[in-house]
Structure 1
Amino acid sequence: MAAARVGIGGPVGSGKTALLECLVPRLMARGIEVAVVTNDLLTQEDAERLRKKDFLPAERIIGVETGSCPHTAIREDPTMNLLAIQDLEIKWPQLELIFVESGGDNLASTFSYDLIDSYIFVIDVGAGDDIPRKNGPGFMQADLVVINKIDIAPYVGADLATIRRDTQQRRTGPVVYTNCKTEVGLDQVEQFILETVLFRTPTRSGVAVGGDR
């Protein structure tokens, strides 16, 4: 059976790769078989960064060089990413979950559901507390929004209370506030993936139970 696919999108520097660095080991500790496809314009920078973490076999991390605007490869024509996913599934038929990380894009970036089953949109507090008010399609339409780097709000003149208020007014879907360095909020992101993508129920022992994949 094909692996579930989760997109990770958001602006440059919002913490997409950092989020993966936290999530992949957590899911693997539950016995979930994971792989990653990263997107960069003309390099494999993010793929190499993840490989250096050594939490996955290097062959389970494929870097796609899009050669064009990042959103093109995840929305208008996801062929390159679909081929990378196909390669992973052929080599690793036991895979249960494949993350597809977009290259850094803007607030209009969204994923095609021909490519993924669900997607997470990451923004960071450092970009300003007005981001939720801009109603970007990625922010508004994502299955889960992650508002990252909440620890830096006092240092960049961002009002976290304003972000929370405006997000609550605009979003009907789930939102998680995170600090990847201290792992604040990551339990909720993990739970979202387990329950809404893999259809498993987290237990106190840390083992995910249930699911048909």
Structure 2
Amino acid sequence: MHLDHPEVFPERYTASAEKGERALRVGFGGPVGSGKTATVAALCRALRDTVSIGVVTNDIYTREDADFLLREAVLPPERIVAVETGACPHTAIRDDISANLEAVEELEETVGPLDLVLVESGGDNLTATFSRGLVDAQVFVIDVAGGDDIPRKGGPGVTTADLLVVNKTDLAPYVGVDLRRMAVDAEAQRGPLPVVFTAVRQPGGVDPIAGWVGERLAEWSAVRT
């Protein structure tokens, strides 16, 4: 696991990534259909006027997520790169990250200088984490349609991501989900690590996530200067 929360998980502590002149890299993981691509799209719309952004998407055999972002025109086409992993999504973000690293470096060389690179994993399960060699922070996206027992089940994505996003809260009344129970279970699993309950497709739904990313960017810039 890449995550670096020594005050919460001292046994998982790893040295912080060296902060040079490159962009901050934030990974987005989560189960299929949880809203990862919608979250990335909404973040691009929210930040693109003030932050220089690039996106790397991961799909096993297609470019579907990248094509969605291109159709939505969230960024100029040259700022969106697709990686076809050809294997389990976990491998490309955690074990053999070479294809993703090449994509990130290509973005920084051809479009840069960039402030922020968003790396979206292919659809995965609750065990997915990003290599620290690939990203500097990880966001894990789940949704209420998956059931209110997801936080209770835990898994590395839920328990150790730098930010947990519980998406599609507007659907809770229709799928019989208890948001209060999800909040209690998430806090029990994560301790002080932050959790956001939102619906990213709703007006202002991405704002708390954009605020969190903005804080990470400010910290990154402070170290670089």
TM-score by length of 1: 0.91
The amino acid of 2:211's aligned partner reads Q
Any residues of structure 2 matched to 1:1-213 within 5 Å, and which?
Answer: 1-29=21-49, 31-172=50-191, 173-199=193-219, 212=224
The amino acid of 1:91's aligned partner reads T
> Counterparts of 2:96 and 2:61 in 1: how far apart (Å)?
17
Secondary structure at 2:69's aligned position in 1?
helix
Structure 1: where are the runs of 5+ without partners?
201-208
TM-score by length of 2: 0.86
- Deviation for aligned residue 1:166: 0.8
The amino acid of 1:21's aligned partner reads A
% identical equivalent positions: 50
- Deviation for aligned residue 1:45: 0.2
> Counterparts of 1:210 and 1:2 in 2: how far apart (Å)?
13
CA RMSD of aligned residues (A): 1.6
Asked if the contact 2:53–2:117 (Cα under 8 Å) also holds between the matched residues in 1, the reply is yes
The amino acid of 1:73's aligned partner reads A
Secondary structure at 1:94's aligned position in 2?
coil
Superposed structure 1 runs of 4+ greater than 4 Å apart? 209-213
- Deviation for aligned residue 1:35: 0.6
- Deviation for aligned residue 1:196: 2.1
The amino acid of 1:191's aligned partner reads G
The amino acid of 1:48's aligned partner reads D
Secondary structure at 1:115's aligned position in 2?
coil
> Counterparts of 1:34 and 1:174 in 2: how far apart (Å)?
23
Asked if the contact 1:72–1:78 (Cα under 8 Å) also holds between the matched residues in 2, the reply is yes
Secondary structure at 2:219's aligned position in 1?
coil
Asked if the contact 2:78–2:111 (Cα under 8 Å) also holds between the matched residues in 1, the reply is no
The amino acid of 1:186's aligned partner reads V
- Deviation for aligned residue 1:141: 0.9
Asked if the contact 2:26–2:118 (Cα under 8 Å) also holds between the matched residues in 1, the reply is yes
The amino acid of 2:70's aligned partner reads R
- Deviation for aligned residue 1:198: 3.8
When the two structures are aligned, how many residues end up with a matched partner? 204
Asked if the contact 1:8–1:119 (Cα under 8 Å) also holds between the matched residues in 2, the reply is yes
